[in-house]
Chains A and B, each alone.
Chain A
C-alpha cells in the first residue's frame, strides 16, 4: 500500500477548525518528551501551567495582562498578513509606539490640560507605530523592497533607540541606576480594572470585533482579500493596490503601537527595560493560529498569554525553566504549518499491485 497526497475538490471547512486544535495537542505531546528529558512529569507540568494561568481570578488577570498586547499586535499582524505583506515588525512598532507615548507623557504634560494627556499619548503612540510600519510599506510599494527584511531590521532600530533613551538622555536621575525613565504623571495612566489588568483589554476586544466586520463585510475588507489572494487580478479590477497596502499597514502599525502605549501607560507607567518582551513575535503565531480571523485571534491571544504566565508558574513551582512556555508556543507552529496542508489536500491510498485507487479514501481525510 502506498499513501499519496491528493488535492481536494474544495477547501475543507472541517480541517480549518481541526488543524489548529490538533496542532496544539501534537505540540503538547512533543513538548512532553522534552519535559521527560528534564525529569518532569508532563501531565503534572501541564496541570500546573493551566492552574498558573487560569486557576484563580488573580492568576487569570495576569494572563489578561499579557493577552492585551498579544491581541493588539496579533490583530495588527493579521491585517498585514491578509495582504500577504509579511510584517514581522510588530515588535518594533510596539516599542516605537511605547517610545512616542513616553515622549508625550513625560514632556507634553505642562502644555496640555490633564484630561487630554492620555488621549494624546494614545494618539501619538499609534501614529508612531503607524509610521514605523508605513516606512516598509512605502519602500515596498514605491521601490519593491522586500518587506520581510525591512520590518525585521526596523525592530532592532526601534529597540536600540528605546534603549538609548532610557539608558541615556531620558534616564531617571532618581532611579537608583535602574534603566528606565521617570514615572509618567498620573494623568497619562491607562486605568486598571482588576489587579494589573487594564482598559486596554476592552479596547483590544472592541478593535477585534470591529476588524472582523471590516474584513468580512466592507468594501475595504473585500479589496484586502482580493489583493492578498491575487494582486494582479485586483489591479485589473480597478482596486488601488498600492494605496490599500499603505492604509492597511498604517493600521497594522497603529495597533502594534497601541500595544506599546498600553504597556507603558498601564503596566510600567514609564518607559523601561522590558518593553521589548517578544509580544510582537508571538503575534505572528497568534495571527497564524487564528487563520487570520480577528475574533479567533482574541481567543488565541489569551491562550498564548496563558502559556507565558503558566511558564512563569512552573518555574516557581516546579523549578523548570520558564522558557518552557515559549518552547510550547514555538512547537505549535510546526504541526500547524504541516497541518494546513490538509485544508487543501487529503491522503489517498494506492495499491501498486493493480494500480487501482482504494475507494475508501474518505476515512483517511482529516
Chain B
C-alpha cells in the first residue's frame, strides 16, 4: 500500500562534513504521512546532524531535500517552520522564567506587539485537549517537570503548524509511564496524517514507537526496515555491526564491610529547595549499588554531598568508618573516594590541557609524579602512556588536548584516572550516558572489575538496563527520598517504573502483584 502513498519528506544524498569527520555520507530518507520513522544509531552515527540539516540548523555540503514532492532549501529554523518541520531538541529550548504560553509564541512573527494572550491560551488549550497534552498555559516553565517541559516543546511545534515532528532522544528523561504517554501522543498525531522522525539508540523504543526504522552507522545509512519485520537483536547487530552482549558477565557479589554510609542526609539544591530529605544508604566493599530515578530527583546532590562538592545540612556521611560529613573535596579524595562526574566535560576534564595532564590530575600530588617538589614531565608521560594502554584510550598522542577527543575517549580518560587513584569507593554518575556501545561496554566492565577488586561502587544511572545488568542492588530515588531497595536479579522494569514515579516499594509490590493477579484471573 505504501508505494501508492506519496512521501511527505524525502532527503536524497545528504552529506555533511565536519573537520575530520563525515557526519552524514550520502544519506537517503523517506517519510510518509501517518507514520513514525525511527532513526537508530550509536552516538556519533550522524542521527542528530541529519535532523539538524532538516531543521535548518546545519547546511548540507551535498544533497537535496524534498517536502511534499517539492525541492526546498532550508537555511534557518524559520524556513523549517514555514515548511511545517518542527524539532524537539534533546536539551529543551525553553525560557525558564516565562510561562508556557509565552514560550510557545516566543519568536513567532505573526504575533502582534501586544499579544492577545487570552486567545493564544484558548488555542493552546484546544491543542492540548485534542492531543491529550496536559499542560497549563499559564504555568511557568520552572514549575514544570522534565516530562511536562517536553510536552510544552511538542505543543509549541504543533501550535506552529508542524506536520513533520522531529524528536531527538525524547525518552532519555522520561519514566517508562511518561514514555507510554508520549507514544500515545505520537499515535494521535500520525492518525491525522502528520509524521514524525524520532532519534534513539534504544532498540526497545524502536519496536514500541515506530513503523519504519533506518539504521545509521558511521554517517552511512545501512538498513531500512519495517519495524514489524525486525527485532531488537537484529537491530543491535545492524547498529554496531557485530553481535552485542546485553548482559555483562559477572559473578554474584560478595559484599563485605560497609565502606560508604549515609545516614538521614539532608541537603538543598542550588535554588535552596530541599533536594535530599533524610536520605540513607549503605555501600559495602565488593558490591555495586545502583541509584535509579528520573533525573532531578536528588541524584546530583547525592553524588555531590558524598564527594564534598555540596554542603550537607543534616545527617552524616561515613567513609571507611570515618565521619567525612562536609569535609573538603581533597580530604574526601584522600579518604579513598573516586568520582566519575555526571557532566564529564564541565567537571571531569580540563579540555584545554593534554590527555597526559588530565590523567595525572589526581596523581600529581604524590611521588613519583612530583619529585623533590617539582613535577617530572617524563614520569607524567610514562604514567599517561601506561593508562592510555591499559584503558585503550584512542588519542593521537598523550600531548593532544582532551577537547579534541571523542566523548567515549574523554570518558575513558576520566575512568582511567579515577580507577587508577581509587582507594575503595567509586561514585559514578551516568558513566555511560551518550557513549556508543563499545565504550559503554568498557565502562561497565571496568566497574564490575573494580567491585571484584573489593571496592564499593555507587552507580547513578537513568538507564534501567544498565542498572539491572551492572548493579547488585538498586535503590530508587524520588524527590530526594529512597523509595526502597531491590535486588537487581529479581527486580523488574514495571516495578522500578512505579517506584520511580513515587510509589514506595511496599505499595508498588501490592499494586504490581495486584494487577498481575487481575490479569491472571
Contact = CB atoms under 8 A, between A and B. Distances in A.
A44 interface: no
Interface in B196-241: none
A236 B339 contact: yes
Contact of A222 (B339, B348, B364): B364
A233 B62 contact: no
B349 A235 contact: no
Interface in A181-237: 213, 217-219, 221-222, 225-226, 229-230, 232-237
B61 A238 contact: no
Given A222-B364, A356-B61, A236 B353 contact: no
B61 A226 contact: no
B404 A225 contact: no
Contacts of A222: 357, 364, 375
A11 interface: yes
Report, as a range, how many residues of chain A touch the other chain: 20 to 34
A232 B353 contact: no
B375 A230 contact: no
Contacts of A10: 396, 400-401, 404
Interface string A1-42: 000001111110000000000000000000000000000000
A355 B346 contact: no
B107 interface: no
Nearest to B351: A230
A62 B365 CA distance: 45
Nearest to B366: A219
B307 interface: yes
Contact of A233 (B19, B346, B364, B404): B346
B57 interface: no
A233 B348 contact: yes
A236 B339 CA distance: 8
B401 A236 contact: no
B488 interface: no
Contact of A230 (B330, B346, B364): B346
Nearest to A8: B19
Contacts of B334: 238
A148 B521 CA distance: 74
B341 A229 contact: no
Contacts of A235: 309, 329
B1 interface: no
A357 interface: yes
Given A225-B353, A234-B350, A219 B365 contact: yes
Nearest to A354: B62
Contacts of A7: 19
Contacts of B348: 233, 236
A226 B346 contact: no
A218 B371 CA distance: 10
B347 interface: yes
Contacts of A239: 330
Given A230-B349, A232-B346, A238-B330, A6 B404 contact: no
B239 to A, nearest CB: 27
B373 interface: yes
A37 to B, nearest CB: 42
A349 to B, nearest CB: 13
B20 interface: yes
Q: How large is the interface on B (under 10, 10 to 19, 20 to 34, 35 or more residues)?
A: 35 or more
A161 to B, nearest CB: 38
B328 A233 contact: no
A217 B341 contact: no
A364 B12 CA distance: 32
B17 interface: yes
A232 B350 CA distance: 9
A56 to B, nearest CB: 42
A239 B357 CA distance: 15
Interface string B349-362: 11111000100011
B435 interface: no
A233 B350 contact: yes
A116 interface: no
A226 B361 contact: yes
A312 to B, nearest CB: 40
B309 A236 contact: yes
Contacts of B330: 238-240
B183 interface: no
A228 to B, nearest CB: 9
B185 interface: no
Contacts of A8: 19
A16 to B, nearest CB: 13
B172 interface: no
A355 B61 contact: yes
Contacts of B401: 10-11
Interface string B465-501: 0000000000000000000000000000000000000
Contacts of A217: 374-375, 377
A233 B17 CA distance: 31
B351 to A, nearest CB: 7
Nearest to B352: A229
A240 B328 contact: yes
- List 5 tightest A-B contacts by C-beta distance, closest first: A238-B330, A230-B350, A229-B352, A238-B333, A229-B350
Interface of B: 17, 19-20, 60-62, 307, 309, 328-330, 332-334, 339, 341, 346-353, 357, 361-362, 364-365, 370, 373-375, 377, 396, 400-401, 404
Given A218-B374, A229-B353, 14 more contacts: A9-B20, A217-B375, A219-B365, A222-B375, A226-B361, A230-B349, A230-B351, A233-B361, A234-B350, A236-B307, A237-B362, A238-B333, A240-B330, A354-B62
18 contacts: A6-B19, A9-B19, A9-B20, A217-B374, A225-B357, A229-B350, A229-B351, A230-B349, A230-B350, A232-B347, A233-B346, A233-B350, A236-B347, A237-B361, A237-B362, A238-B362, A240-B330, A355-B61
